[in-house]
Structure 1
């Protein structure tokens, strides 16, 4: 099947439909009110990243439109137009949700987000004091004129575009809102059991005349704008001791990337919009009208000043059955494998694993890959303690982890200062695997203890990301991990792994082979079937292979949270393929591959999605689930997710994001049901 004829949903369009599912959570009245506000924040943050990364790539392709159409099989210029139409439609839904639903429902809870026009004398006096004490010294207005260059606007910073006017003339000014150093939300003194919250933006609006008092303009108007820039990095092709310096310079360039989107207050007069378009050299496709508040991602931290029920209940992390944190974790995992299901069970098991390794006299070496780290990382602290206790610690920190580069540079420097052997990865290949191997001398011989995971060694995201993490001492797996770490140290790739499935050399070939087995078994009348769970499905060759299985009659069930370019339900090609997407209070992040294999089921967990970058341009590790108890637990959890008819959406060729409904049958909500399942197991 040629690329041109391969039925596909455009990946950018598919991603926008995923973000619409996030917006659906904000619209769902069964979701607690403050959480609905936070889903709006996630939607906004997602869209910012989309315009920083995906849209710039399409823009570059559009510049070579004829060749790009031949190469890609679609028209980049047309796609950019479609993107804008979808985004404008979604932004309107966003504004309507915020202004006409959530604000009003907050009011019924006696919580009021007020602006500068809704202040009584007492609150006004409080805010003028707050402005003079906390804000005024941080504000630097820039007066604009045609004889001076237009200021360089920072990526994603919020500015007020201000017009000062009288009956005869006017002037323009720009002023950055200092969100990095101050709280966005200010809780005002309570009155008669009513809670009032005002945004920093509106305090500045209220006190504009105190900023521009030296100018003789009686009328002041301030409208918020936000510019999103191209955030792709251009790195040197050489690896040297100056790599971190090179990356740091590239991060500085990111702040001044090409403008991609101007989000502006739709109340701004047209002549002011036209002025900005001219000065920023923007096309109409780059203009996105919005509401008066930008950087809505800050609403993820919106304070709950009302009832506890306005937020999701955060149930306590569960114990893992028969895995006792008060005993040596090594002695327990020496007997059998253990599975940690995050965030339902505690990330402390992973921390305990590393802490014990740091102080155990028998441990000689720790090797680990790190992709995204928490701001106050206990993982890093455990590794540093291990070095201080005389252990050899080999740490691969992926400096090219998008938008975490600066944080990872900081941790790299910290680790090196403490004596950790830090590896920066492999040029052109991000190390995205999540693996740890500990060497322990027992009776004079090295014994290896491993942790392999689908998600990052990050205790913050472990509280909100759904992932799986396995402890094992399986000799075949640990031997191959040793080989993999040796290759990473030498910056070379090995292949011919028996147990592991490792990108970039083997994942595609091995997954294809397992799909071929299912096709053959289906043809021969043997048990056949495939279940795949991942974040994204976009690689065209992998989709073509899955279509081949679908055309061969293999029953395929998929759980794809984000973009899915495969089109289910095409007669004779994909009518045996069913795809759902679960968007709920936790981010579904695990990658699980299940192959029926003639009745002897194979289950793999992986760090890799089915995207070209994960298969061909990253170091990823898929690993088999071999312990029968762990295998059954994974299977049970996936079965629970496939039953979801509350938060699951059906992915179809019509891209309607329709909820999978229970009808008159029993309601299943996977994330609640998984917690109950694991809770019932912990003491059995």
Structure 2
């Protein structure tokens, strides 16, 4: 590949030139999407380095950084590698070629991996030891520990391992994605031979050592790879083991389905998942000490270029460190809290009456996901409910919602479920749920041709005295109890007929045929959301040009669509103040003279993952606010079924603006501000002023017994 570009110099050159305000197509106006995502992961790593977090929470953040990087290589890097191999000449919106992006990514990820290793070895591991949580290296083993681990290996590890030779008589073995492996060099019949030993996922990475054996109180652990290395000779009796080296692979897992040619989507997804087991490598991580002759064997058999190889002197697969967060050390974790119940003393018909009375808002994790479960349970138990429709994207394991839907079908209610089979990394789980739902007699739809269904809608149809009445929950996050405890998300329950009419049309579009594009209460992708959102932004620009009150607040996960960024640039040029709270990728450059002077972008990364999407428009004193599933990315606007919903209730709208958004905009503890050059800097308040943590502030606000609705 070409010599890596100097990103710092390239950025400086672009910004110093002073882009022409009339040319919004200029690549210098955009930040590279991949590098922006890596900056987000760096902000997560900063949490692991931040001593204000409890110690085991810092370990959790370290684990998240590593897991995020794995997924980045499985999808984003793998996609770029496919483009590079196909000799694609397409440039990213910021003007970088595929080759330049890959070079820049390798530089940045290598530095990040080194930072992760230093954070663990120099900071977190020593701190854990001061709290009697010790992770032992082989050099730390006493004779008693070594004897204990040898016995543990003999009884619990050795029977599970399978050494696989590779030579002319034994083909190179299949090596699964994210697997940890040992490359073993042995001498047999006077010749050097090679074998591979996989460290199976069924074995715990951290092996506990009793305090009586460790000779110290507290929790002591050895790592699986160290124990196997010390005992690897037992797998080759009578054979001399000369060398052993650890390696780990990451494969391309980005699922590409030719849906136009697929007769059965479920069958196609299932088949593609099996094929992905053999995806091309996007990273081969090896011990720094692995000699070239051993590495060359791996490179040749994997049929890869050496630019996919990364050497490390540290540990591999820090995602496994999440196991340490399950240790019982309450003082080393965030203080637990009890989320507020939306309707603690209500159930059944009372829930429907409450929604009829007025719209209701739920804000996770500060308020419990039980509100959604209670809504669906009321629909199941109520004899007057005749139909339930719901979209499911990331369901999660052991979901109580699935059992409720099956109970509803058993009770004779009409139940329709759209299960998105193409939800990345959840495909297999969703296929299994789809089969179970179909077996219960539920109408299951698998999604639309060439589109992912990402909207979060649950519709209940009830036969009441005055006729059919419908109720709906519109959310920003998945119907998933587990993620609702750590992701911030909104949900609105409403019985407003105008909303229900349009939600019904969305379900008709998903399960049958509908070409409706003239929505009023919803903004629906892929046909309506982009032009409707653009109109809302342009209306603010008209207000600003006329000297009326104007302003936009965006809170979402990602802003990457080039055309939508240009729409925001034009609004800024008209003088619209734009505040953006973007947790992850942001390709917009704020603060460019004459282009984005009035745009300020911040990111809040803290205890909870900011996942909610909220869009506020000042509209000359008649504010409008929408919540929903869509970020401002091309995939959300053009390749997914998404829904944003107007929040019409003035009290709920005021709460979202005055309490939630203002807390985020006031954060001086976890917020970082995006600079014009693509870097982020911490936002700090006045000297000696107390730091404001938005999430902690909201925890206190929702702990109040006063109900806002």
The normalised TM-score by structure 1 is 0.96
Q: Distance in 1 between matches of 2:510 and 2:489?
A: 24
Q: Secondary structure at the match of 1:645?
A: coil
Asked if 1:409 corresponds to 2:427, the answer is no
Asked if 1:189 corresponds to 2:213, the answer is no
Q: Where do 1:326-475 residues align within 5 Å? A: 328-475=350-497
Equivalent pair of 2:186/2:192 in contact (CA under 8 Å)? yes
Equivalent pair of 2:671/2:682 in contact (CA under 8 Å)? yes
Q: Distance in 2 between matches of 1:242 and 1:150?
A: 34
Corresponding residue for residue 236 of structure 2: 212
Residue from 618, 622, 638 that aligns with 2:661: 638
Q: Distance in 1 between matches of 2:261 and 2:86?
A: 31
Asked if 1:13 corresponds to 2:8, the answer is no
CA offset digits 1:449-468 (Å, max 9, x no partner): 11000000000111110000
Question: Could you say if the C-alpha distance between residues 268 and 37 of structure 1 is closer, same or farther in structure 2, counting changes exceeding 3 Å?
Answer: farther
The farther-off stretch of 427-436 and 128-137 is: 128-137
Q: Distance in 2 between matches of 1:46 and 1:491?
A: 38
Question: Could you say if the C-alpha distance between residues 257 and 409 of structure 1 is closer, same or farther in structure 2, counting changes exceeding 3 Å?
Answer: same
- Could you tell me how far 1:57 is from its partner in structure 2? 1.9
Residue from 602, 605, 609 that aligns with 1:580: 602
Residue from 276, 296, 308 that aligns with 1:274: 296
- Could you tell me how far 1:66 is from its partner in structure 2? 6.7
Corresponding residue for residue 5 of structure 2: none
Q: Distance in 1 between matches of 2:602 and 2:106?
A: 26
- Could you tell me how far 1:524 is from its partner in structure 2? 0.7
The farther-off stretch of 240-249 and 66-75 is: 66-75
Q: Secondary structure at the match of 2:549?
A: coil
Asked if 1:659 corresponds to 2:682, the answer is yes
Corresponding residue for residue 251 of structure 2: 229
Q: Secondary structure at the match of 1:38?
A: helix
Q: Secondary structure at the match of 2:438?
A: helix
User: Structure 2 stretches of 5 or more lacking a match?
Assistant: 1-22
Equivalent pair of 1:264/1:288 in contact (CA under 8 Å)? yes
The farther-off stretch of 336-345 and 162-171 is: 162-171
- Could you tell me how far 1:105 is from its partner in structure 2? 0.8
Question: Could you say if the C-alpha distance between residues 131 and 326 of structure 1 is closer, same or farther in structure 2, counting changes exceeding 3 Å?
Answer: farther
Q: Distance in 2 between matches of 1:657 and 1:323?
A: 45
Corresponding residue for residue 480 of structure 1: 502
Question: Could you say if the C-alpha distance between residues 30 and 169 of structure 1 is closer, same or farther in structure 2, counting changes exceeding 3 Å?
Answer: farther
Q: Distance in 2 between matches of 1:99 and 1:409?
A: 41
The farther-off stretch of 302-311 and 252-261 is: 302-311
Equivalent pair of 1:320/1:345 in contact (CA under 8 Å)? yes
Corresponding residue for residue 676 of structure 1: 700
The farther-off stretch of 432-441 and 201-210 is: 201-210
Q: Secondary structure at the match of 2:90?
A: helix
Asked if 1:39 corresponds to 2:61, the answer is yes
- Could you tell me how far 1:326 is from its partner in structure 2? 8.6
Question: Could you say if the C-alpha distance between residues 479 and 66 of structure 1 is closer, same or farther in structure 2, counting changes exceeding 3 Å?
Answer: closer
Q: Secondary structure at the match of 2:401?
A: helix
Residue from 39, 48, 68 that aligns with 2:70: 48
RMSD over aligned CA atoms reads 2.1
User: Structure 1 stretches of 5 or more lacking a match?
Assistant: none
Equivalent pair of 1:369/1:397 in contact (CA under 8 Å)? yes
- Could you tell me how far 1:470 is from its partner in structure 2? 0.9
- Could you tell me how far 1:167 is from its partner in structure 2? 14
Q: Distance in 2 between matches of 1:84 and 1:484?
A: 43
The normalised TM-score by structure 2 is 0.92
Question: Could you say if the C-alpha distance between residues 70 and 623 of structure 1 is closer, same or farther in structure 2, counting changes exceeding 3 Å?
Answer: closer
Q: Distance in 1 between matches of 2:298 and 2:273?
A: 26
Corresponding residue for residue 336 of structure 2: 314
Question: Could you say if the C-alpha distance between residues 682 and 492 of structure 1 is closer, same or farther in structure 2, counting changes exceeding 3 Å?
Answer: same
CA offset digits 1:255-279 (Å, max 9, x no partner): 1111111112223334433332233
The farther-off stretch of 222-231 and 386-395 is: 222-231
Q: Secondary structure at the match of 1:390?
A: coil
- Could you tell me how far 1:249 is from its partner in structure 2? 1.1
- Could you tell me how far 1:193 is from its partner in structure 2? 1.8
- Could you tell me how far 1:314 is from its partner in structure 2? 2.3
Q: Distance in 2 between matches of 1:376 and 1:202?
A: 34
Q: Distance in 2 between matches of 1:426 and 1:127?
A: 53
Equivalent pair of 1:62/1:68 in contact (CA under 8 Å)? no
Q: Where do 1:133-282 residues align within 5 Å? A: 133-145=155-167, 148-164=170-186, 170-179=192-201, 181-190=202-211, 191-217=215-241, 219=242, 221-238=243-260, 242-282=264-304
Q: Distance in 2 between matches of 1:647 and 1:326?
A: 41
Equivalent pair of 1:159/1:226 in contact (CA under 8 Å)? yes
CA offset digits 1:13-51 (Å, max 9, x no partner): 111111111111111111111111111111111111111
Q: Distance in 1 between matches of 2:231 and 2:314?
A: 17
Aligned residues: 681
Q: Distance in 2 between matches of 1:661 and 1:176?
A: 48
- Could you tell me how far 1:601 is from its partner in structure 2? 0.6
Asked if 1:607 corresponds to 2:629, the answer is yes
Question: Could you say if the C-alpha distance between residues 239 and 491 of structure 1 is closer, same or farther in structure 2, counting changes exceeding 3 Å?
Answer: farther
